[in-house]
Structure 1
Amino acid sequence: MLTFDIALRLATAALAEGAHRGANPLTVAVLDAGGHQVVLHRQDGCGIVRPQIAIGKAWGALGLGFSSRGIAAATQRFPEFFNALAVASEGRTIPAPGGVLLRAPGEGIVGAIGVSGDSSDVDEACAIAAARAVSLEPEPATPAV
């Protein structure tokens, strides 16, 4: 189960990783397995749409069962499906890296974290580092950068 305490620690760890990397201001959304927002942190200086992007990255990963990096790749192969998905999800799915599934050993998927604010690769790296910091298994397991 993804508790509020774990979600808060995830968001804090993602922001710390962003600071370590010298990232632009970040927004971090943590959703439980049902897609409900548990925590949203938005650093000073983030654009006004960053919360929706972070949530959309995490929500899309949960909805399709694979990372938003995987979603981004699949949109290239199946554009008609993802056009329909955009309508079906009311635009809530963001097909860009930065949405990472979170697995607890022996429990399966417990939620997802979405990060937005820097390049998608940096966003994803911050999300993966956060998952590892709280002993959850991220998908994808390793960042692209």
Structure 2
Amino acid sequence: MQIAANEKRKALVTEITLRKARTIIRKALEKGREIDLKPLSVVVVDGGGHVQAFEREDGAPAGRFQIAFGKAYGAVVIGVPSSKLVDMALERPHFVNALSGVYDGKIVPVAGGVLVRDKKGALIGAVGVTGDTSDNDAAAALAGIEAAGLIGEA
């Protein structure tokens, strides 16, 4: 009886597994090559902002983890794509500055942090991509998320 209850609970919990995170990264990088982007760095975080997986392509500058993470982390902890954080920073700079302090400077309010939702619409994580223009970064993230069978919100 206990095993059946555990299996039922697992069926209700949607998360970004390591396998899905790797798919997201692989497909985001493939999209980058397909549309001839500069070398990308991609991070996948779970619903709590914890890193599930990260890769930095050959030729990507050092320090890209922090930027990709900041985009994804900001998106998931605030609950909006990082492109919306850009708008918030322009409209309410004091608020976004305060958020930066609250979250120990980990939020990067620049497009390229894409929310990840399951098929039912539940927020389960985010993907942060950096290396090219912010719009191209977001396009690569969306391609990876879609390939993993999940829904992206940029």
Corresponding residue of 1:143: none
Note the residue ranges of structure 2 that are not aligned, 5 or more in a row. Answer: 1-14
Alignment of 1:52 with 2:86, yes or no, is no
- Supply the RMSD in Å over aligned alpha carbons: 0.9
Q: How big is each residue's C-alpha offset from its partner over 1:16-41, in whole Å with a ceiling of 9 and x where there is no partner? A: 00001100000000001111101000
Aligned length: 140
The one-letter code sitting in structure 1 at the alignment partner of 2:124 is: V
Corresponding residue of 2:98: 84
The one-letter code sitting in structure 2 at the alignment partner of 1:43 is: E
Secondary structure at the aligned position of 1:135 is classed as: coil
- When residues 122 and 107 of structure 1 are mapped into structure 2, their CA distance, relative to the original with a 3 A threshold, is closer
Corresponding residue of 2:30: 16
| Aligned counterparts, 1:1-145, within 5 A | 1-106=15-120, 108-140=122-154
If the length of structure 1 is used for normalisation, what is the TM-score? 0.94
Q: How big is each residue's C-alpha offset from its partner over 1:100-131, in whole Å with a ceiling of 9 and x where there is no partner? A: 00001126011110000011111011001111
Cα distance in 2 for residues equivalent to 1:24 and 1:74: 28
Cα distance in 2 for residues equivalent to 1:107 and 1:137: 8
The one-letter code sitting in structure 2 at the alignment partner of 1:46 is: A
Secondary structure at the aligned position of 2:125 is classed as: strand
If the length of structure 2 is used for normalisation, what is the TM-score? 0.88
Note the residue ranges of structure 1 that are not aligned, 5 or more in a row. Answer: 141-145
Secondary structure at the aligned position of 2:114 is classed as: strand
Cα distance in 2 for residues equivalent to 1:52 and 1:63: 16
Decide whether the 8 Å contact of 2:48 with 2:77 is kept in 1: no
Cα distance in 2 for residues equivalent to 1:107 and 1:94: 24
The one-letter code sitting in structure 2 at the alignment partner of 1:71 is: L
The one-letter code sitting in structure 1 at the alignment partner of 2:109 is: P
Secondary structure at the aligned position of 1:138 is classed as: strand
Cα distance in 1 for residues equivalent to 2:58 and 2:98: 35
